[in-house]
Structure 1
Amino acid sequence: MNRRELFLSTAAAAGITLPPPIWAMPPQAVEHLPGRLMNLTTAHIGAGGHFLQEDTPQVIAPAIGKWMETTP
């Protein structure tokens, strides 16, 4: 199993969903990630339902815009 497969299986076991390019997970799961994943950008978007992008577009859009500005 390579690193990507290991990460995905660990994430799935922890109940973390990974819809590219946005990962939705509880705040306590995010706390340890910046030191473990290279080039990770996080943004707190608040609580959401099944479709986060529909629940909080006014928060997600600026976060993605900021990320795009800083991505080479």
Structure 2
Amino acid sequence: MSPHEWKHAAEVAVSAGIAASDAICGHVLGYKVASESHSDAVAALRLASNDDTAKHLRALLEAKSAQS
């Protein structure tokens, strides 16, 4: 794959992870985080799931920041 294709694949993976987090929070907590703060999203996912799952979201959000 070309560098452009790898970058696009990473962007899609990050978007999918964020969407999954929103779905989990929506189902378990009854809401999804609308805040721009990544730490708010990670905290909500920790409440809805567990520390391990939240750790993976944090890694995806850090990758998103690195891609920008």
TM-score, shorter chain, exceeding 0.5:
no
- Higher RCO (C-alpha under 8 Å, 6+ residues apart): 2
**When the two structures are superposed, what TM-score results if normalisation uses the length of structure 1?**
0.31
**When the two structures are superposed, what TM-score results if normalisation uses the length of structure 2?**
0.32
